[in-house]
């Protein structure tokens, strides 16, 4: 949580420091998130949940360049299916940076970097008290199309395709470890270091052929002050043979640009 608060402060400071740009927006958003995941080794059970989440970010458009940053956090809990004695508590945050350049009029191409995408699920009322988590840093090739179709209305369409990731993940509360942890002989049920998502040496390189990582988004802007933003992103690890590890998120957010400066 401390890192997320620092991120929010940097975003606000960064947005104010670029007020001389051609167009700068700093926004706060509140939205709903529908999260669905499947991670059981021998089961097709999916767990889904809807929750509310806050976000903050800014965008900077200058000449043919488009910069943006975004951060959000969410948490929710639910009971395990068919059991009133097992409960999940979920906590996640994401910090994203991006740069795109106009290739042809209204179409931008560039790179998005999810600097940190952290997701952790605490499992209560189990004897081992274990949890599942995924912490990753992801690079996407990104395309964006901006359509001004009326004087006060604008559509933004975007697509991100994951190129590669550095991932530290334990997909379930059982004895599931990344292959690189097993290869290094570091599996232990006593020392919690192998279940620490921030341990850099446990990060595994996941190129695009070992995962499917896709994000789509659409945004409707009104008078450059309010916008309605929808995003769908999904990741599945293809190298988990025999049991897919899949996480999908639908988000819809109402954003308010409390700083909106055009030069």
pLDDT over 90 (residue 20): no
Exposed e or buried b per residue across 29-52, where buried means at least 16 C-beta atoms within 10 angstroms of its C-beta = bebebebebbbbeeeeeebeeebe
pLDDT over 60 (residue 109): yes
pLDDT over 90 (residue 135): no
Q: pLDDT tier at 102 (50, 70, 90 boundaries)?
A: very high
List, for residues 147-178, the tens digit of each pLDDT value: 888 888 999 999 999 999 998 877 655 555 56
pTM for this model (two decimals): 0.78
Tally of domains in the chain: 1
Q: What is the DSSP string of 41-105?
A: TT----EEEEEEEEEEEEEEEETTEEEEEEEEEEEEEEEPTT-SS-EEEEEEEEEEEEEEEEEET
Range of the domain at 153: 2-262
CATH of the domain at 11: 2.40.128.100
Distance of alpha carbon 155 from alpha carbon 160, whole angstroms: 17
């Amino acid at each position: 949580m401390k890192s997320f608060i620092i991120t929010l402060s940097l975003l606000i400071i960064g947005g104010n420091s670029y007020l001389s740009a051609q167009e700068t927006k700093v926004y706060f958003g509140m939205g709903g998130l529908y999260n669905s995941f499947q991670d059981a080794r021998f089961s097709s059970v999916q767990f889904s949940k809807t929750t509310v989440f806050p976000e903050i970010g800014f965008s900077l458009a200058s000449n043919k360049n488009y910069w943006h940053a975004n951060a959000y956090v969410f948490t929710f809990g639910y009971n395990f299916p068919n059991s009133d004695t097992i409960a999940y508590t979920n906590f996640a945050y994401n910090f994203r940076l991006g740069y795109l350049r106009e290739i042809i009029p209204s179409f931008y191409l560039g790179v998005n970097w999810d600097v940190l995408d952290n997701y952790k699920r605490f499992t209560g009322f189990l004897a081992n008290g274990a949890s599942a988590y995924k912490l990753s840093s992801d690079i996407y090739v990104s395309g964006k199309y901006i359509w001004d179709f009326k004087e006060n209305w604008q559509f933004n369409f975007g697509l991100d395709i994951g190129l590669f990731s550095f991932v530290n993940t334990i997909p379930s509360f059982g004895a599931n470890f990344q292959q690189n942890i097993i290869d290094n002989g570091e599996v232990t049920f006593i020392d919690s270091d192998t279940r620490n998502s921030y341990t850099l040496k446990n990060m595994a390189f996941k190129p695009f052929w070992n995962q499917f990582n896709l994000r789509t988004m659409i945004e409707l802007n009104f008078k450059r002050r309010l916008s309605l933003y929808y995003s769908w992103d999904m990741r599945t690890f293809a190298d988990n043979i025999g049991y897919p590890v899949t996480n999908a998120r639908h988000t819809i957010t109402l954003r308010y640009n409390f700083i909106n400066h055009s030069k």
